[in-house]
Amino acid sequence: MIKAIVTDIEGTTSSLSFVKEVLFPYAEKHLPDYVRKHANSPEVKAVGENPIEKLEQWMREDKKETALKTLQGIVWAEGYKSGELVADIYPDALAKLKEWKATGFTLYVYSSGSIAAQKLLFGNTAAGDVNNLFSGYFDTTIGGKLEADSYQKIQKQIGYAPQEILFLSDSVAELDAAKKAGWKTVWLNRYSSTAKPPHTEAKTFAEITYLAYRAMDVDTLPAYLAEHKKLAEFLGGNPKEWNIREVGDGNLNLVFIVKGTKQSLCVKQALPYVRLVGESWPLPLSRAHYEYLALVEQNKNTPELVPALYLHDAELALTVMECLSPHIILRKGLIAKTRYPNLAKHIGQFMARNLFYTSDFYLSAAEKKNKMVQFAGNTAMCKITEDLVFSEPYFNAPMNKWNSPALDKTMESLATDVPLKLAAQELKHAFLTRAEALAHGDLHSGSIMVTEKETRVIDPEFGFFAPIGFDVGMYLANLLLSYFSHSDAEYKKWLLAQVKDTWNIFAEEFSALFLARKSGDSFSLALNINKQALEKILATIWQDTLGYCGVEIIRRIVGLAHVEDLESIADAAERGTKENAAIAFARKLILGRNTIHDIASVL
Ligand code: SR1
Ligand code: MG
């Protein structure tokens, strides 16, 4: 964990131009006069014979002579004092340095400007004297900034382990040297260089996040929650009385249930890697931020269908939310053949409302684009879907898993089925390019919690703008995976009714919203073609739904992430028969998505 942060100045906390275009010219202008007036001072004497000529030559040659640096420092001090000079510091740098200091990081400066000049600079910013932020300063008297040895010396002086120190610089060569000494590094690429050095990149200090990140466990979580008074009061009692269990069984995150003496809550924290695979597959913590944004949006559109939010900690990639109890994961309920009378209505409404209210049918073009920008960085999560759902099942991808030998032939045919591969890639292309609405992005039966009466959708960390039919297709696919997994005819009938009811309720609700609340810029109201437009839009959503439903079914059987519905069938041959049937059905949906016109045909 990072404990100390060492920062460069020029190009990092402050503009390159301030030193070159303001400080240096100021010294060139004022040094001769100062030397004439103080010819007998020890500082001027230290320069030697013909001090003015010598100083001018050193400045021209950018020499790091101590005597020059000392005199430059003196004239700059006078300039700052008179107010003629005001030191430059980027607002994002100052804000973050203050935040880090307040959160307990120890801050240092390492710059090729002299320590005196560093202190002058931070002592005379537009925001006043900010030297109180720093616990120490280093210049080239400790060693050159391109030598790993200099960083080792600084590390020994400040007393942290190398991996506990973060160095910030705009210079890749400096970062390379710091990295050699075992330090963590962040490259401030303020000037949009397209180079890709092996350092974490940030355009501004604001992008440097998760420094305080540590994965929580049942021992550290009580103290963290106790620091948040409202949460502690909500739980009731004292931390020793809280019962904490880690219950995460998904593919990615930690999930804790905390039971206090009064109430309970749920803490979800992202891990910096894919839990299902391990540390060899790093995954950005920023997904917690996108999940939180999506939850906020869903809380606005469908508050009764998502968990209430209590706290989001951006640095720890952690969200505290309502503990859903006695709810269980829908997938488990479906495996246990439980029937949920309100499920189709709830999920139909969840999809219709969230997809409509984040689309161009409701939002103005500007509002929609602004919302898209908020999610534009969730690229790593999209990449998982792009690879796992649309591509990997159709070639010999290393992470594919299948029930062998029952599915060996199916695997071969998937890899050689040109029409199917083309269709899967067309669906992928639409996923990449048709940013119609904010999709949940991973709406399967493991992302839904239920009681007999209530339904709550969780886990929207894959939240991104996608075709409207994406969520609908994913969800129906998971109902159908359950259908194929079961042998009980009555329960299968109920599942098919779920498929039909969910689609119908979604379509009805979406249509009602479209006709009553359409205010966005697409299909201009002025043209008076709302009804005809809706028909066309629903037809497109339907086609997409069938396609996405098909690819989700296939990838859950032969890709990396399988479903317990089928996995829990102990007899591999029986399972294989069911899996093959599901894949054959999925293929029909994908290839027939333009010719299957209604839900009755699907059933
Ligand atoms: C590496 S993550 C695998 C799958 O788990 C998630 O729930 C998503 O469905 C993803 O595709
Ligand atoms: Mg620099």
Q: From the alpha carbon of 446, which atom of ligand 1 is closest?
A: 7
Any atom of ligand 1 within 6 Å of the Cβ of 154: no
> Residue 379's beta-bridge partner residues?
none
Give the contacts of 304 (CB within 8 A, at least 6 positions apart). none
- Residue 387's pLDDT is 98
Any atom of ligand 1 within 6 Å of the Cβ of 442: yes
Any atom of ligand 1 within 6 Å of the Cβ of 223: no
Q: β-pairing, 273-274 with 278-282? A: antiparallel
Shortest-distance ligand to the CA of residue 248: 1
Length of the chain: 603
Any atom of ligand 1 within 6 Å of the Cβ of 334: no
Q: Check: CB of residue 155 under 8 Å from CB of residue 147.
A: no
Give the contacts of 574 (CB within 8 A, at least 6 positions apart). none
DSSP state of 242: -
- Residue 200's pLDDT is 87
Sign of the Cα torsion 192, 197, 202, 205 reads: negative
- Residue 185's pLDDT is 95
Whose CA is closest to atom 9 on ligand 1?
Answer: 442
H/E element holding 4? Answer: strand 4-7
CA gap 113, 406 in Å, rounded: 70
Number of neighbours of residue 541 by Cβ within 10 angstroms = 24
Whose CA is closest to atom 8 on ligand 1?
Answer: 442
Residue 264, helix vs strand vs coil: strand
Residue that is written with structure tokens 């039919």 in the block: 469
Any atom of ligand 1 within 6 Å of the Cβ of 563: no
Any atom of ligand 1 within 6 Å of the Cβ of 251: yes
Q: Which of 255, 560, 563 to mutate to test the pocket of ligand 1 (most atoms within 8 A of CB)?
A: 560
Number of helices (H) and strands (E) in the chain: give both, helices first: 24, 18
Q: From the alpha carbon of 283, which atom of ligand 1 is closest?
A: 1
Number of neighbours of residue 419 by Cβ within 10 angstroms = 10
Please tell me the distance between residue 174's alpha carbon and the centre of ligand 2 in angstroms. Answer: 8
Strands laid side by side in the 253-259 sheet: 243-246, 253-259, 264-270, 318-322, 309-313
Does the N-terminal peptide bond of residue 326 adopt cis geometry, omega within 30 degrees of 0?
A: yes
Any atom of ligand 1 within 6 Å of the Cβ of 561: yes
CA gap 601, 603 in Å, rounded: 5
Q: Check: CB of residue 317 under 8 Å from CB of residue 424.
A: no
CA gap 121, 37 in Å, rounded: 25
Please tell me the distance between residue 91's alpha carbon and the centre of ligand 2 in angstroms. Answer: 17
Q: Check: CB of residue 327 under 8 Å from CB of residue 449.
A: yes
Q: Check: CB of residue 46 under 8 Å from CB of residue 67.
A: yes
CA gap 33, 42 in Å, rounded: 16
Any atom of ligand 1 within 6 Å of the Cβ of 276: yes
Copy the structure tokens of residue 222.
């009580």
> Residue 273's beta-bridge partner residues?
282
Distances, alpha carbon 164 to alpha carbons 106, 149, 185, 410, 425, in Å: 11, 17, 11, 51, 45
- Residue 282's pLDDT is 85
CA gap 325, 331 in Å, rounded: 16
Model pTM score: 0.82
- Residue 114's pLDDT is 86
To 10 degrees, the CA torsion angle through 500, 506, 507, 510? 180
3-state helix, strand, coil in the chain (%, to 5): 55, 15, 35
Please tell me the distance between residue 90's alpha carbon and the centre of ligand 2 in angstroms. Answer: 13
Q: Which of 268, 278, 588 is CA-nearest to residue 423?
A: 588
DSSP track, 269-326: EE-SEETTTEEEEE--TTHHHHHHHHHHHHHHH-GGGSPPEEEEETTTTEEEEE---S
Low-confidence ranges of the chain (pLDDT < 70): none
Residue that is written with structure tokens 């939240």 in the block: 463
- Residue 250's pLDDT is 82
Please tell me the distance between residue 103's alpha carbon and the centre of ligand 2 in angstroms. Answer: 25
Check residue 50 and give left, alpha or beta (phi > 0: left; psi -120 to 50: alpha). left
Cβ burial of 257 (10 Å; 0-12, 13-18, 19+) is: middle
